[in-house]
Structure 1
Amino acid sequence: MDTLIVGAGFAGATTARLLAEAGERVLVIDKRPHIAGNAHDRRDAAGLLVHSYGPHIFHTNSEKVFAFLSRFTAWRPYEHRVLAVPDARTGRAYPMPINRTTINRLYGLNLDAAGTADFLERVREPRSTIRTSEDVVLNSVGRDLCEKFFRGYTRKQWGLDLSELAGGVAARIPTRTNDDDRYFTDRFQAMPAEGYTRLFERLLDHPGITVQTATAYEEVGTQIDRRRTVFSGPIDAYYGHRYGRLPYRSLRFEHEHLARCEQYQPVGTVNYPNDHAYTRITEFKHLTGESHHGTSIVREYPTTEGEPYYPIPNSANEALFKRYQALADVETEVFFIGRLAQYRYYNMDQVVAAAMALAERLSPNHCPRSQDAAAALA
């Protein structure tokens, strides 16, 4: 065996496919009983395609990533839209990210794009130094919009106040002065036409790849003869939590099929920043385009315990991660990739891009060039 890959999500499966195409023999293991990692989808009891671990919306500006995945799936064009209900007593919903419609509807105004920009300039609380997510939000939209849409959601999602979370988290959410209500504006926005699990089945369908699910690395890692390991699980777990556990945020999912409801909500996801124990509800028919006399939804409840889903970005956690990264840096035949292994809040396309780069570097056909040689060929 050339390479053992731990994890059958986007990081592991992409690396496996490209190494196998380069002539390697690859074994992919995953402790879960299925492939596709957190992107796994399935048919529920009503026959609707649902995402087991919450909504996964594919979007990217990378033509290279999109072209690679397009080898394994056809696509259904889909632009995700999100509404937020800051006060469940009124039930009024507003576009998220905040845009001109949000502000006009919330405050009873009739601003054009320039007027919206002026409004935001008046209400924002300028920050000369941006360190935390609170700095990002107050600097962008001010106190009232922060309290209505961001602070409560952040507290539920991360178990931290905005002031305790790195600025990059809130910076992922733009503010717009026009009426664009798409959650993402990437060049490529689409959903796998037959679902993510089918995409992964094709991705891993290669004679050079063997897949073993329900197989934990801790149980078999020392028994498998291989030249190298690619690890996409939590980096602190790989090192036996030598310096203590890295904090990760988990989720509990409450799936429900509504047999007598053809459409539950007007968009794919509705956020509840200030009410309820859950953060959001997703209705899958919006994502998949399927027709059915009923509909299937999922509520997401953030938790401290459970499967790790999100690294928690702040300075203390980053310092702890750096200690584990120092151990990884001296490894010669172990490579760490993905959200949990690199302790980064990556999107799916970023994970695929990183895995493509790693596979190219590890490929037996890869020949690193010196800077002089590269310059000569440029």
Structure 2
Amino acid sequence: MYDWLIVGAGFAGSVLAERIASQRDQSVLIIDRRPHIAGNAYDRHDDAGVLMHQYGPHIFHTNSDAIVDYLSQFTEWRPYEHRVLGRIDDKLVPIPINRTTINALYGLDLRTDEEAEAFLASRAEPVEEIRTSEDVVVSKVGRELYEKFFRGYTRKQWGLDPSELDKSVTARVPTRTNEDDRYFTDTHQIMPKHGYTRMFEKMLSHPNIKIMLNADYREIRDIVPHRRLIYTGPIDEFFDFRYGKLPYRSLRFEHRTLEQEQFQETGTVNYPMSEEYTRISEYKHLTGQKHHATTITYEYPSAKGDPYYPIPRPENQALYKKYQALAAETDNVHFVGRLATYRYYNMDQVVGQALAEFRRIQEAVPLWTAPVNGKSHHTDGELVIPAGRALN
């Protein structure tokens, strides 16, 4: 009998496993259908010895001191500020759009924020009501920059025109009038010094935690005894797709190792106007690894494959609300993480959500311990019930 069964060994499941094991001293079995821990953040050394990210680049950034303090128990860090270039009109220019981008594309010499702001304002088109991703961009920078930077990329990424997507999609990408070419502006921009997988290994190294890989929840849920469940997989799958499938976009990754020290100027180069792929990433920029070879990844968005990005449209949110209502009625199950809450979260947001869920568990779920003399009893307000034998 495990006290907790946790489905999914990514950030949400692993943080909760660690907190429950270390703070509640309870037994946890964490399972994952993949052959590894760390979820989409999984990294590994490839055949050439280059540390690469199996599921595309994962760059850690946050404004939360508390989240960094928590994860620092399991890793050291290296500073890393991510920069992205975009191939636009045969030029490589910074993304997000900034003053450098504007000057390069239009042959200008804008020198102040005010000049750049006036330029963008002269091209912006008024939108009466901002509802879609197209509205967001056109109202800020006008149609020409929208076409160059956003429309093609969004169509590739989502399989939909920006006019068909919720405003939240392009609202994530800022437009700047200064020369700051960092992709993120968070207080903490850091990478785990020895990689994400090593960090997860330490997080899950508590003796109260057992790990089972290549394990599908549906195949073991009735044969592994457990008292409570934390589920971080797709919420529609948990309920056997009762109301139909929630739509996702997936990705196909093409990894290549090259016998050269560096392939491109920055960690990521985007291709908004050309190519079938959306971007190429080179991991040595992210990891700081010194190596004679380099590994790069081409990303191809796809309608099929593992679920990565919930598609933000009103009808999809309405469908999720139906599953959310079922989840609220399901006793002893906690739904946490991107797939279980049908939200696009950054890594730090998932950690924050998991830590918040643990606080709720602490407040609402009584502790239980093994019986004394074979009898269940209550002590100090804790629920005590007979303990079963844990599986090895």
The question of a shared fold, defined as TM-score above 0.5 by the shorter chain, is answered with yes
Where do 1:1-378 residues align within 5 Å?
1-21=2-22, 22-87=24-89, 90=90, 92-112=91-111, 113-259=113-259, 261-363=260-362
Q: CA deviation at 1:364?
A: 7.0
Whether the 8 Å contact between 1:234 and 1:340 is mirrored in structure 2 is: yes
Distance 2:28 2:274 in 1: 47
Q: Structure 1: any 5+ residue segments left out of the alignment?
A: 368-378
How far does the alpha carbon of each residue in 1:193-230 deviate from its partner, in whole angstroms, 9 at most, with x for none?
Answer: 00000000000010111110111101101222112111
- Alignment-mate amino acid for residue 29 of structure 1: I
Count of aligned residue pairs for this structure pair: 363
Distance 2:304 2:244 in 1: 16
Distance 1:230 1:121 in 2: 49
Q: 1:180 to 1:217 in 2, by over 3 A?
A: same
Distance 1:29 1:53 in 2: 19
- Alignment-mate amino acid for residue 58 of structure 1: F
Distance 1:123 1:246 in 2: 38
Distance 1:67 1:359 in 2: 16
Alignment TM-score, normalising by the size of structure 1: 0.94
Whether the 8 Å contact between 1:250 and 1:308 is mirrored in structure 2 is: yes
- Alignment-mate amino acid for residue 317 of structure 1: N
Distance 2:17 2:139 in 1: 43
- Alignment-mate amino acid for residue 83 of structure 2: R
- Alignment-mate amino acid for residue 147 of structure 2: E
Aligned to 2:374: none
Q: Secondary structure at the match of 1:328?
A: helix
How far does the alpha carbon of each residue in 1:58-112 deviate from its partner, in whole angstroms, 9 at most, with x for none?
Answer: 000011111000110000100000000124xx2x111000000000100000112
Distance 1:356 1:293 in 2: 40
Which deviates more from structure 2 when the two are superposed, residues 329-338 or residues 242-251?
Answer: 329-338
Whether the 8 Å contact between 1:248 and 1:312 is mirrored in structure 2 is: yes
- Alignment-mate amino acid for residue 31 of structure 2: I
Distance 1:103 1:24 in 2: 56
Distance 1:137 1:81 in 2: 21
Q: CA deviation at 1:366?
A: 7.3
- Alignment-mate amino acid for residue 59 of structure 1: H
Distance 2:306 2:5 in 1: 22
Whether the 8 Å contact between 1:247 and 1:312 is mirrored in structure 2 is: yes
Whether the 8 Å contact between 1:19 and 1:363 is mirrored in structure 2 is: no
Distance 2:54 2:273 in 1: 25
Distance 2:21 2:361 in 1: 11
Q: Moved runs in structure 1, 4+ residues, more than 6 A?
A: 364-367
- Alignment-mate amino acid for residue 51 of structure 1: H
Whether the 8 Å contact between 2:85 and 2:92 is mirrored in structure 1 is: yes
Whether the 8 Å contact between 2:148 and 2:272 is mirrored in structure 1 is: yes
- Alignment-mate amino acid for residue 314 of structure 1: R
Whether the 8 Å contact between 1:360 and 1:366 is mirrored in structure 2 is: no
How far does the alpha carbon of each residue in 1:15-74 deviate from its partner, in whole angstroms, 9 at most, with x for none?
Answer: 110011121211100000000000000001110100000000000001111100011000
Which deviates more from structure 2 when the two are superposed, residues 119-128 or residues 139-148?
Answer: 119-128
Whether the 8 Å contact between 1:2 and 1:227 is mirrored in structure 2 is: yes
The CA RMSD measured in Å over matched residues stands at 1.2
Distance 2:71 2:265 in 1: 29
| CA radius of gyration, larger in | 2
Alignment TM-score, normalising by the size of structure 2: 0.91
Q: Secondary structure at the match of 1:270?
A: strand
Whether the 8 Å contact between 2:50 and 2:293 is mirrored in structure 1 is: no
- Alignment-mate amino acid for residue 27 of structure 1: L
Distance 1:98 1:340 in 2: 31
Q: Structure 2: any 5+ residue segments left out of the alignment?
A: 367-392
How far does the alpha carbon of each residue in 1:103-140 deviate from its partner, in whole angstroms, 9 at most, with x for none?
Answer: 01000001122110001111111223221111111111
Distance 1:303 1:268 in 2: 22
Q: CA deviation at 1:332?
A: 2.1
